[in-house]
Amino acid sequence: MKAEGAEPSMTEYRVAFDAGRPDGRACIHLGELVSPGDPAVRGCSECLESGKRWLHLRQCLSCGHVGCCDSSRGKHAQDHAESSGHPVARSIERGEDWAWCYADELFLTPNGGPGMAT
Ligand SMILES: [Zn+2]
Ligand SMILES: [Zn+2]
Ligand SMILES: [Zn+2]
């Protein structure tokens, strides 16, 4: 399928303030992230195949893979990060715009955020 219309704008992330962690931690992957756009299927493909249920969905910011979160039984987003070496996944839950770097164990938040004028 060809993408029609405007390209999704690139979301840039920065490391979120995270109380309880030492300052100065950095995610070395920020420059490698892509904006995969909204997934075609809003579901964890691994869970769908095996008939499992998931709680929340995470989308890989390297290839667009959708997997379920660490609170889901499958933990397929983490599986994907470890097996593929893709470090960062974002939440695609409504109202959530953060991402998580599995390699650096850091929360990331978008620079600017939705609705900002360009
Ligand atoms: Zn990182
Ligand atoms: Zn899953
Ligand atoms: Zn991936």
CA of 75 to the centre of ligand 2 (A): 6
With a pLDDT cut of 70, the percent of the chain lying above it is 86
Query: What is the CATH code of the structural domain delimited by 40-110?
Result: 3.30.40.10
Mean pLDDT, residues 25-49: 92
Q: Where are the domains of the chain?
A: 40-110
Tokens of 117: 């004028």
Q: What is the per-residue DSSP string for 14-29?
A: EEPP-TTS-TT---TT
Hey, how many other C-beta atoms are within 10 angstroms of the C-beta on 55?
Answer: 13
CA of 4 to the centre of ligand 1 (A): 31
CA of 26 to the centre of ligand 2 (A): 28
Quick one: which ligand is closest to 67's CA?
Answer: 2
What pLDDT band is residue 41 in, cutting at 50, 70 and 90? confident
- Over residues 43-68, the pLDDT tens digits come to 999 999 999 999 999 999 999 999 99
CA of 92 to the centre of ligand 2 (A): 14
